[in-house]
Amino acid sequence: MNFEQARFNMIEQQIRPWEVLDTQVLSLLATVRREDFVPKAYQALAFADLEIALPPQTHPSQCMLSPKVEARTLQDLAVQKHEKVLEIGAGSGYMAALLAHRAQQVISLEIEGELARMARDNLQRAGIHNTLVLQQDGAQPLTDPQLAGLFDVIVISGSVAEVPESLKRKLKPGGRLSAIVGSEPVMSATLITRVDEQAWRTEQKWETLAPRLRHFPTPSAFRF
């Protein structure tokens, strides 16, 4: 398989038509080798417009999101070199690799031990050293000392019914949080910006679908 041609086709036929025009994001997609973060059995699908299952495949959220969703998320967040990023859902480490090229530091949480090890190995082989992958359920309280303090950017790599207040409060003033919010058949890529100590601004940027991350709360249904 000609990976370079497939990468070029992905950018020109999937990413650009999905209104991803940020030259820095496009350059990253051309540079970071997505095929190195895909299980070998699925390398032929590395640049396809679909989600790729990741081992141990015990839950639908164990996947790489489609390239266009990852790219547009990066464009929305506009991560800067001085910023500290928290990612919920490391998967194979590919999104962390993209974020690491833009940020000062990335801490990525992964509930599955096997995936956490895969992400660490992939990032190490890619020569990316400003990332830390922790095995932790991102839906639970962030008590690890390495997660103390606030973050400039938070990325939820999967969907949630709603964004927990506890995560919104982990943003610095001016910080941004990206999540895919809602329930099938319609979910919205949502950007939450912390305006000040007590206020947040929420924007629904575009519609998509993504597997639900485990253990994040679902609002109780309204009853008369």
21 sits in the region (left: phi over 0; alpha: psi -120 to 50; else beta) called alpha
Q: Quick one: pLDDT at residue 77?
A: 98
Q: What pLDDT shows up at residue 58? A: 87
User: What's the confidence (pLDDT) of residue 221?
Assistant: 54
Q: Which residue's structure tokens are 């001016």? A: 174
The catalytic residue positions are 61
State residue 220's pLDDT score. 59
**Count of alpha carbons within 13 Å of 82, Cβ hemisphere only?**
1
* Residue 177: predicted pLDDT: 98
Q: Which two tokens stand for residue 88?
A: 């919920």
Give the domains, in start order, of the chain with CATH numbers: 3-208 (3.40.50.150)
Report the phi/psi class of residue 148: left, alpha or beta, with left for phi > 0 and alpha for psi in -120 to 50.
beta
Q: Report residues of the chain scoring pLDDT below 50.
A: none
